[in-house]
Amino acid sequence: MTDRPRRPATLVETGAIVLVCLLAVAGIFEYGRFLVTLHVMDNATHDSARLAVADTGDRTRAEVIAEIRRRFADLDEKIEVGDDDITVEDIGRQQGGIAVEVRARYRPTVPSFLMFNSSIRLRSKVVMLGTEH
């Protein structure tokens, strides 16, 4: 047998390995990005409900919705929240309770490589009851 260089085979093998590694890194990045978005959404919903309950009940629905939108300002390219996707309900005037629900669609960066749908539905709901002072 002759000792011929294996340069073409090595390039093909290296290319395949690099592609798999890049896809794995992209998947890890996308999953982390998804978790951060979900965390921000949950915190925005919780903090807005707490703001509405703890602030002596004089916050309007529009102010609560504006607070949620302010918290989503940094996530504009990642998440879609329509006008009908934020619900603020009074659940009991005697207790000063409120329910805040946010529905959104998350758009992955690399949906075709990771076989995601074009968007993923998210939902966060918080119910808080006020306390008498």
pLDDT tens digits for range 28-54? 988 898 898 889 889 888 888 888 777
pLDDT tens by residue, 9-33: 888 899 999 999 998 898 898 889 8
Pairwise pLDDT comparison (130 vs 12), residue with the higher score: 12
Give the pLDDT band of residue 133 (cuts 50, 70, 90). very low
State the pLDDT at residue 89. Answer: 80
Cα distance between residue 46 and residue 30, in whole Å: 24
Inter-residue contact 77 to 103 (CB < 8 Å): no
Query: Among candidates 105, 101, 103, which has minimal Cα distance to 80?
Result: 105
Which domains, from first to last, does the chain contain? Answer: 7-128 (3.30.1300)
pLDDT at 8: 79
The per-residue pLDDT for range 74-123, each reduced to its tens digit, is 776 777 787 788 888 877 655 567 888 888 888 877 665 556 567 788 89
Amino acid present at 96: G
